Chains A and B, each alone.
Chain A
């Protein structure tokens, strides 16, 4: 894992004094925002193709034909970003015993009763679910998307594959949209400090102790002496 405690007197992100911890490396942040951009483009154009009442969305990304041209290519880019993310986070995202304990108390998390939650590692159970939803979602979207992209390449005798592509693409897209709505809400409004951490990479130690105590303890153990840390972000 590539997280380090950084000793800085103040923070550039929130103005809050205190020790800061590197939560996301530069690579992870770039990957996240590359994924966010490509997914959002596919979401906007996809919704335009989904309903006549949202077709106007195509206009804000260059018009119907342009949206149709880029949708599959940006979809491929998003697929690449998800595999890159998998390569970085696969180990961090495995469901652990701590997750199972946390999942059993998820109601407390939803009701912001965080004091009653068992401690979590670098990612909590909800984050892991979202990751795997997007990871398996994009695999389904990729396969069905190729079917839609080259629909004429599917012979008439195998036309059930055309219909299957439509079905799988719609269902998988809807599932990822559900996760995406919750993800954006939690990352921006609900869990304060999360949004800045995925931009500049740092969180306060208090934040880390509150939301990811096991991760904080693990990182603390490997803490380098103050003054020498924080070189990598």
Chain B
């Protein structure tokens, strides 16, 4: 939420260019989540709550280790558990830390109609600015990961900030700091990608995970959160990680061509009736043809 000295490069619902967007070039930041070394301890869930000032809410039990079915407006970080049955019949307990993916091409920001309610910083973090949020929920339709959540009391949307307040002060996000196994890493996108690829290679070459790879979906321009998965060909198994996420085409059309088609149609409508008046003017009450006493 707080942006400290971070430079804004994209603004939602903004008429005109973003002032000063090109002033500085920063490193793209990235969170790396290695699902192969996650033990599902949920320390990151607690750290996230503590740093962002939320109290631990009641959990719901659905025959899983998962705290609740999905993230909430006051619960931005959730380990998703899945008992995955492999082809050879053996079980694999998959654990994936679910949170905002900080897309390079953010669908929430594209969908948002409120000026400045969603911004993207030059370091890649996508952040909600609740003081500008109108609570319309368009971001929910724009997000390919189902992340933004609505607080019905304050009528504002919330999601993971990638601890932009900490990062702005040169600290790592709270979840990273709390991770006991080191499955969470934070740094530049370049470094994290290198680390992730090295780990994936290690898994392929030495641990028998032939399909191990890095999840950094190109459909949304790459993400500021990347995963190492044992089986990168089946991300859905990891609590519903979409295989090829992209901004819904409806949202792209709505925020792109539809805007201009609609605006031009409305403009031509107004111009049309005005021209009609110039050409034909108002209707006159004509004397009735049978002429039985109508007073014009």
* Chain A: minimal CB distance from B274 (Å): 8
Chain B interface helix/strand/loop/mixed: loop
Instruction: List the A side residues contacting B284 at CB < 8 Å.
Output: 112, 114
Question: Given A163-B248, A166-B251, A210-B286, do A189 and B277 touch, yes or no (CB 8 Å)?
Answer: yes
A140 CB → nearest B CB, Å: 16
B134's partner among A65, A112, A148, A206 (CB-CB below 8 A) is A65
A159 to B137, CA, bound (A): 13
A112 and B140 contact, CB distance less than 8 A: no
Chain B residues contacting A49 (CB-CB under 8 Å) are 113, 134, 136, 138
Contact with B along A108-149 (1 / 0, CB 8 A): 001110110000000000000000000000000000000011
Q: Does A87 contact B (CB under 8 A)?
A: no
Bound-state Cα–Cα, A177 to B265, Å: 10
CB pair A68–B136 under 8 Å, yes or no, is yes
Encode A180-209 as 1/0 by CB contact (under 8 A) with B.
011001000111110000000000111101
Q: A52-B13, A111-B280 are in contact. List 18 more A-B contacts (CB 8 A).
A: A49-B113, A52-B115, A68-B135, A114-B284, A149-B137, A151-B137, A151-B141, A163-B141, A163-B248, A174-B266, A185-B273, A189-B273, A193-B285, A204-B285, A205-B294, A206-B296, A209-B294, A210-B288
- Residues 43-82 of A, flagged 1 when their CB comes within 8 A of B and 0 if not, give 0000011111101001000001101110000000000000
In the complex, what residues of B have CB within 8 A of residue A115's CB? 286, 289
Contact pattern, B 1-44, Cβ under 8 Å of A = 1, otherwise 0: 00000000000011100000000000000000000000000000
Distance, CA A36 to CA B277, complexed state (A)? 23
Interface residue range, chain A: 35 or more
Q: Give chain A's interface residues, CB within 8 Å of chain B.
A: 17-18, 48-53, 55, 58, 64-65, 67-69, 110-112, 114-115, 148-149, 151-152, 156, 159, 162-167, 170, 174, 177-178, 181-182, 185, 189-193, 204-207, 209-211, 213
29 A-B contact pairs sorted by A residue (CB < 8 Å):
A48-B113, A49-B134, A49-B138, A50-B262, A51-B263, A55-B115, A64-B132, A65-B135, A68-B135, A111-B280, A112-B282, A114-B283, A114-B286, A152-B150, A163-B248, A164-B250, A165-B141, A174-B262, A177-B266, A178-B266, A185-B277, A190-B280, A190-B282, A191-B283, A204-B295, A205-B295, A206-B295, A210-B286, A213-B288
* B114 within 8 A of partner (CB): yes
Report if B218 contacts A (CB, 8 A).
Answer: no
**Is the CB of B258 closer than 8 A to any CB of chain A?**
yes
B155, A65: Cβ atoms closer than 8 Å: yes
Contact of A178 among B137, B269, B276 (CB under 8 A): B269
In angstroms, Cα B141 to Cα A49, docked, is 14
CB closest chain-A residue, reference B137: A151
Of B114, B273, B285, the contact of A64 (CB 8 Å cutoff): B114
Enumerate chain B residues within 8 angstroms of A193, measured Cβ to Cβ.
285
- Whether A69 contacts B155 by the Cβ 8 Å rule is yes
Q: CB of B244 within 8 A of chain A?
A: no
> Can you name the residue of chain B whose Cβ is closest to the Cβ of A182?
B273
Min Cβ gap A69→B in Å is 7
> Nearest chain B CB to A70's CB is how many angstroms away?
11
- Given A55-B115, A65-B155, A190-B283; A206-B294 close (CB under 8 Å): yes
B149's partner among A114, A152, A156, A191 (CB-CB below 8 A) is A152
